[in-house]
Amino acid sequence: MTSSSTASSVFSALAPYGWDEAWADEFAPHEPEGLLPGRVIRVDRGQCDVLTAEGVVRADTAFVTPHDPMRVVCTGDWVAVEPAGSHPRYVRTYLPRRTAFVRSTSSERSEGQILAANIDHAIVAVSLAVELDLGRIERFLALAWESGAQPVVVLTKADLVPDAVTLSHLVEDVETTAPGVPVLTVSATLGEGLDVLAAIVGGGTSVLLGQSGAGKSTLANALLGEDVMEVQAARDVDGKGRHTTTTRNLLALPGGGVLIDTPGLRGVGLWDAESGVGQVFAEIEALAERCRFHDCAHESEPGCAVLDAIDAGELPQRRLESYRKLLRENQRIVAKTDARLRAEIRKDWKRKGAEGRAAMDAKRGRWR
């Protein structure tokens, strides 16, 4: 088979999974080594399933599991895998990622964990069967924006909302929380809203995110047109699920595009997501540009446009508190991994402390 026909067969096999000319150029240096391009569709226990032009192959990940968790191969990666006949068969390397959804791990070492790579859409599934947690939605969206993908919020189980007026209020609350993000209502049970979502995910790679019980597996099955993912009912007491999805799986959609389904996420810690937080709270950052002082903390400073907006009822107090909380959390995470930034933060703390003491001294002087 000629090299041109080989390239053609690779394109026909991998294009439905996102392969394009740019990926082919990235892979070109590995061709002389006899390696094959493929996309990781599942990773577990030191091995992974890779979709290649030969079909799905099982490969060892020993060469792509370094100590740094940010460099571990994950679902969605494009990789160079050894050809048939190699025993064992190894993934030798992965191609540079275009995007990646990263959260901080629950470990005290403050490490990042990549949940999905090379994604175009980050679908945040939120169940309407339980009370909305707007703060958690903001947290997901900050990571989604930071990933480089386009966030989309999908409000699932819309058939459980008693009336259209209540549903419209819930959608409005989420839209206020998610500026610049499409907000869709979906009922997988009734098949409502799926056509709009299918049109969005039909181009590129989408990752499905959310807590257990959000209806991710049901939603994935509806998009796939078959029961591929196991589904269990949420607990009646709190609406939480039982982690029916235990690994991250990449699946081709019948209408085009691919979907990465993920296990339910209990913890959604930020990981170096300052710009993502800024996009989630775009209206606050826009207001901040009109503050009298460029370093305004939006606490009690004169001429603060953010506080003026709160007083005028144009900005909810909850949004400002959530903004501050996520910025503080992100700053702590980054400080633990960046010595230079730690020093800058300490210097800033000292400066603010000195300013505070000076202000108190001035007040005492006036009081005397």
Q: Is 160 exposed, middle or buried (0-12, 13-18, 19+ CB in 10 A)?
A: middle
Which residue type is seen at 186? Answer: V
Contact (Cβ atoms closer than 8 angstroms) between residue 217 and residue 230 = yes
**Is residue 108 over pLDDT 80?**
no
List the structure tokens of 148: 């480089």
- In contact, 206 and 123? CB cutoff 8 Å: yes
Angle between helices 194-201 and 216-224 (to 10 degrees): 80
Q: Which tokens go with 208? A: 């499905």
User: For residue 126, what are the β-bridge partners?
Assistant: 155
Q: How far apart are alpha carbons 318 and 61 in whole angstroms?
A: 45
The pLDDT score that the predictor gives to residue 113 is 86
Q: How far apart are the C-alpha atoms of 80 and 103, rounded to whole Å?
A: 26
pLDDT of residue 231: 54
Alpha-carbon distance of 189 to 366, in angstroms, equals 68
Q: What is the pLDDT of residue 128?
A: 96
pTM: 0.83
Of 320, 321, 292, the C-alpha closest to 304 is 292
Range of lowest pLDDT (80-84, 143-147, 268-272, 361-365):
361-365
pLDDT at 241 > cutoff 80: no
- In this prediction, residue 165 carries a pLDDT of 96
- Angstrom CA distances, 170 to 10, 130, 164, 280, 289, stand at 46, 11, 10, 18, 30
Q: H-helix or E-strand containing 25? A: helix 21-27
Q: What's the pLDDT score for residue 243?
A: 42
Tokens of 1: 């088979």
Per-residue pLDDT at 237 exceeds 70: no
Structure tokens at 61: 């990940």
Better-scored residue on pLDDT, 12 or 111: 12
CA 244: distance to chain centroid?
20
First to last CA, the chain: 94
Mean pLDDT, the chain, rounded, equals: 86
Helix-then-strand count for the chain, H and E: 11, 13
Which of the four pLDDT bands, split at 50, 70 and 90, describes residue 111?
confident
Please give the share of the chain, as a percent, with pLDDT higher than 90. Answer: 65
Does the pLDDT of residue 238 top 60, yes or no?
A: no
Q: What is the pLDDT of residues 69-90, one digit of tens each?
A: 888 999 999 999 999 888 889 9
pLDDT of residue 213: 86
325: CB partners within 8 A, 6+ apart: 135
pLDDT bin (cut points 50, 70, 90) of residue 5 is: low
Identify the H or E element spanning 136: helix 134-147
At residue 234, does pLDDT exceed 50?
Answer: no
| Mean per-residue pLDDT, 144-157 | 96
Cα distance between residue 279 and residue 284, in whole Å: 9
Token representation of residue 53: 């032009």
pLDDT at 255 over 60: yes
CB environment 34-50: b (16+ within 10 A), e (fewer): ebbbbbbbbbeeebbbb
The string of pLDDT tens digits covering residues 270-323 is: 888 899 999 999 999 999 999 999 989 999 899 999 999 999 999 999 999 999
The Cα–Cα gap between 300 and 363 comes to 15
pLDDT tens string 327-358: 998 888 887 776 565 566 557 766 756 665 66
Instruction: State which amino acid sits at residue 158.
Output: A
pLDDT > 70? residue 180: yes
Residue 265 has what pLDDT?
A: 77
